[in-house]
Structure 1
Amino acid sequence: MRQLHEEAEDKEVGRMPADEELFRALLHLEARAGALKSGEARRKAAITRVKLWEYLREQADVHQAKAIEDARAANAEWAELVPALAVNTPSAAYNKATRLRAAALTDLSHGDRPVRRTPEAVLEVERQAALRAAEERRAQEHAARRHGLVAPVAQRLIEHRAGLDDDGEVTFWLDQIAAVLPSCKTPTQLVSVETYVEAVVRELRKVERATARPAASTAEAQLAYAAAAELVSRS
């Protein structure tokens, strides 16, 4: 927009507010729309102004919704918000506040489309978001519990790897455990460690079938192997 006015040699372009002051900048551009000489420039500038006003309106809704949230958190009654929201009843204030929350939501069930501005649509999307958040919390809690089981078993395999058959595949998977285990924090990393433990057990069993002898040569390694095998059997 600034460039269009510079190219049109608008004498007032230097007085245009900074880009960060969007509201004042749009008012200035509206007042100086006639300074653009070509019809194409005026059309392009006007359409851009429409887009920017729409953006500003959406941002206003988001911030007004946050202000309402803060007011309610400070024990403001809906009746107190009636004049602030330019409505006539507390129920209308509640409904308008619910519709305003739509600006900050997207409907994942419909391809991230904006939420319809009805209380029913907003409440449904918020309900779905709460269900997803609860599911994520359960997954994280499960991962934490599983980590408490998997990490000690994986650590014992690493500590006593010298007593395990030095088959190439066994060594490879033990190396994978050793690489990931020290920084294992996320559910994805936990799944990786568990997969590697399963692979170690699988390869050690192959060694035992192929050689007809124990895959562990020390008591500590045998206990580590047995713990890993039990973990795998329960997964």
Structure 2
Amino acid sequence: MARLTKKPAAPTRPLLKPPVRIGALDTAALIGELRQLHEDAEDEDVCRMPADEELFQALLYLEARAGALKGEKVRRQAALTRVTLWEYLRERADVHQTKAVEDARAANAEWAALAGPLAVNTPSAAYNKAKRLRATTLTDPQRGDRPVRRTPEAVLEAERQAAVRAAADRRAQQEASRRHTLLAPVAWRLLEHRAGLDDDDEVTFWLDQIDAVLPSCETPTQVVSLERYVEALVRELRRSERERAQPAARTVEARLAYAAASAVLDHAGGQASP
């Protein structure tokens, strides 16, 4: 019977069990709690303990003076907190070292020059280690924002996907800006001459919605909302005209604003019913 061979995992595939990370911590508060344990134990050197904000130096002190604590439970609690804080430091070190590498590369440092600082022997090893460090700053949104697998291939794929998303976001922002340029002036005219429009409850409601979103309309989502509100307003004005057999705009200015809104929506492919 032929032996089954296990297929190697694709280097770009994220880990099935994502690594657990400490994440954000109030490190000063935790160091303060450890300081209190040493004060309660009457540690005679606690006055020499570094400030709560000096995490690295404070941890070195707490390690050196761990024996000053009294009782197994207290020593266990303090040691576990120190483990957590060292892990936090490790995570932050990866993030900051990655930024330092990026800054070095931006200043035209060759990978050969980074080999020594990254504690590797060759430029290719420096490149691979930098990519693995970069994984600590990336997540995979397709898998619930799990951390990216620490391989150069996985990082490159994550960076490619991030670039694609960024390009899509830029296109959406540009399209929103274009649509806003067309739509905002007619929306302002509708509000300016709203007294000359039909005062039906639905018409009033959609004018109020336009009034609420228009002053701060900047993001693609806000532009889409504004367009939908203007569409809904035009749809209600047209319905009113059909049902009442009379113009929905009572003044020349209101009629011109209504016509301009209809024209912009028709040009943009709006869905307001005729």
TM-score w.r.t. structure 1 length?
A: 0.92
Query: Which deviates the most, 156-165 or 119-128?
Result: 156-165
| Residue 66 of structure 2 is aligned to residue 37 of structure 1 | no
C-alpha RMSD of the superposition? 1.7
**Which position in structure 2 is the counterpart of 1:133?**
166
More helix by share: 1
| In 2: Cα distance, 1:230 partner to 1:136 partner | 28
Q: Show the 5 A alignment for 1:1-235.
A: 1-233=34-266, 234-235=269-270
TM-score w.r.t. structure 2 length?
A: 0.80
Counterpart amino acid of 2:129?
K
After superposition, the Cα gap between the structure-2 partners of 1:71 and 1:189, relative to the gap in structure 1 and judged at 3 Å, is: same
After superposition, the Cα gap between the structure-2 partners of 1:3 and 1:115, relative to the gap in structure 1 and judged at 3 Å, is: farther
Tell me the CA shift for residue 115 of structure 1. Answer: 2.4
- Identity, in percent, stands at 74
| In 2: Cα distance, 1:186 partner to 1:173 partner | 20
Counterpart amino acid of 2:131?
T
| In 1: Cα distance, 2:141 partner to 2:41 partner | 44
Q: Which secondary structure does the structure 2 equivalent of 1:130 belong to? A: helix
Counterpart amino acid of 2:141?
L
Counterpart amino acid of 1:127?
R
Aligned residues: 235
Q: Which runs of 5+ in 2 are unaligned?
A: 1-33
The structure whose RCO (Cα within 8 Å, separation 6+) is larger is 2
| In 1: Cα distance, 2:57 partner to 2:170 partner | 44
Tell me the CA shift for residue 178 of structure 1. Answer: 2.8
Counterpart amino acid of 1:202?
R
Moved over 6 A (4+): none
